[in-house]
Chain A
Amino acid sequence: MSAPFSGVSSRAWIFAAAMVAVLLVGGAGGMIIANARAGSDDVAPSAGSVDVGFAQDMRVHHLQAVTMAGIERDRTADSTLQGLAFDIESTQLSQASEMSGWLTVWVQPSLPAPGAGHMKWMSEGGTHTHSNGEGGKTTGEVQRMPGMATTEELNKLRKLSGQELDVFFLQLMLRHHQGGLEMAEYGARHASKGYVRNLAQKIVDSQENEADLMRDFLAQRGAKPLPAP
């Protein structure tokens, strides 16, 4: 018992204790600094990345769904479809705003540059093909994203009423969901940020279920879906 406290070994003990104290205090300091810096060394996705491309393009895609759902919500007489339209409108507007928030933090434009086309970010690796929105397949950028309604289609929707309005809304929204699916699936697999992949996957899952629902609603009304985008 007396040996550790005598002579050289007592010095060794004091030295070891001092080391432990220094390590503990240093470790605590390190944790506090790391905690304060948390997130600040997070690298923002850059222009041309999957994250930025997905956020910009999906935002555009979502905002058209908000427009179409708003028309249906205001004009339909069917309370079930009014509820569905309100659900789609609210959820997609909120998600579009989340994407806009990411883009602000990443110091990127909230929308794709004018004339820049869409979905260029999906050609990563060169082997992936996607729909060009006009029924063909492409690997490069497109001017109109799959599933997007044309101005004439939107104006037609604005003028219809009753059963015709409900059927055309379901057709347009179903095609819109189908068209957005590819982008969402690509984002869910290839985005660098976990929260981007998460939202993309939630869009895949929830919109696939919503698409099934709209297929049933169309069938109930004796109508058929539009050709897939």
Chain B
Amino acid sequence: MASGTKSKGSNKPKGKPNSANKARKSVVGTARKPKPWGMIIGVIVIVLLAGGVFTYAFTEISDKEKWVVSEDNKDPSTNISGVVRKEYESGQHVTPEQRVAYDQSPPFGGPHDNAWAECNGTVYPNAVRTENMVHSLEHGSVWIAYNPDKVKGKALDTLKGKVEGQPYMLMSPYPGLDQPISLQSWGHQLKLKDATDPRIDEFIKSLRENQYQNPEPGGRCDAQGTGFDVTNPPPFVAEKPGPDAVTMDGKGASAATDEGQGGAVPPATGGETPPATGGATPPATGGTQAPPPSQ
């Protein structure tokens, strides 16, 4: 009975207060909101902190691994924008008199001279014969070429600082280069404007002595005994190679050596490039003269 009245009593208010309740609830709700705000902010802060920890760990680790050459990361230079890649056949040699009709300027692969240019952190003051430079790339070095008209003073010193004393690095001016700076590794090239561009170091750490990208892991950089004289290197030849040049498929790379020694080709080439031959070829000429007597 009492309950009846109670329920009755409560029923009554329930009916009316239903709306009143709602009103109160909403009032209480809005009144309570300020309390959860503290909680909400706290939760958000904690989640953001956790997110920060995660992001930090993730970027630290992935950034570290990004440049480490491994079986899962055979070519870290894919992380660098602007790198041009091409596949080249390795091991095709030409003689000191022959020229190669390269498909790129500066080239970064293809047939090359029997002798490699020294690449033990070597800074060449003058432009060097391209056929020797390409052989150094095959051994795993990075070649920094620059346009001598555009890169001077501080920028030149910055580049030199990346080469001097660094194994598997070499640097030389490349007259007529279409950009101030061009980096070459076997099968890879990156052209740049600015010597302080961070991509220079990224290119070097991705590709120098990269056992997966370089065709001859363990190739040497010392050049004494190869016929290449680092104190008097064969000079760069500005003229375009003639029709007798070795093509990119290596056609004539060795066959032409044969014919060349027969007599037809080298005199022609020699005639066309007397200034080139004049400077540095004593060792080169010595090399070519050796085979003919043998024949």
Contacts and interface: CB of A to CB of B under 8 A. Distances in A.
Interface of A: 2, 5-6, 10, 13-14, 17-18, 20-22, 24-25, 27-29, 31-32, 35, 73, 77-80, 82-84, 86-87, 90-95, 97-98, 163, 166, 194-195, 198-199, 202, 205-206, 208-210, 212-213, 216, 219-222
B56, B61, B226, B286 — most chain A CB neighbours (10 Å):
B226
Given A206-B216, A220-B258, A32 B43 contact: no
A2 B33 CA distance: 8
A6 B33 CA distance: 9
B274 interface: no
B217 A5 contact: no
Which 4 residue pairs are nearest across A and B when measured between Cβ atoms?
A209-B91, A94-B218, A90-B220, A194-B71
Contact of A87 (B29, B65, B219, B258): B219
Given A84-B114, A86-B226, A212 B254 contact: yes
Contact of B212 (A13, A87, A198): A198
B57 interface: yes
Contacts of B26: 2
Given A198-B212, A202-B215, A206-B90, A82 B227 contact: yes
B225 A213 contact: no
B225 A220 contact: no
A6 B29 contact: yes
Given A5-B36, A163-B294, A95 B61 contact: no
B194 interface: no
A18, A25, A28 — most chain B CB neighbours (10 Å):
A28
Nearest to B95: A80
Nearest to A93: B218
Contacts of A80: 95, 114, 227, 287, 290-291
A163 B226 CA distance: 18
A92 B220 CA distance: 10
B46 interface: yes
Nearest to A62: B218
Interface string B239-268: 000000000000000110110010000000
Nearest to B214: A202
Contacts of B44: 17
Nearest to A195: B71
A92 B287 CA distance: 24
B53 A87 contact: no
Given A94-B218, A199-B211, A17 B294 contact: no
Interface in B32-85: 32-33, 36, 39-40, 43-44, 46-47, 49-51, 53-54, 56-58, 61, 64-65, 71
Chain A interface main SS type: helix
A99 B234 CA distance: 36
A32 B255 CA distance: 57
Nearest to B211: A198
Contacts of B231: none
Contact of A86 (B43, B90, B216, B225): B225
Contacts of B93: 84, 213
Interface string B145-164: 00000000000000000000
A160 B29 CA distance: 104
A5 B30 CA distance: 11
A28 B57 CA distance: 6
Contacts of B126: none
Interface in B89-147: 89-93, 95, 114-116, 139
Contact of B218 (A21, A91, A163, A210): A91
Contacts of B115: 83
A18, A78, A198 — most chain B CB neighbours (10 Å):
A78
Nearest to A216: B254
B175 interface: no
B295 interface: yes
A209 B92 CA distance: 7
Interface in B203-223: 211-212, 215-220, 222
Contacts of A206: 90-91, 215-216
Contacts of A97: 218
A37 B116 CA distance: 41
Contacts of B47: 17, 20-21, 24
Given A90-B218, A194-B71, A216 B255 contact: yes
Contacts of B139: 91
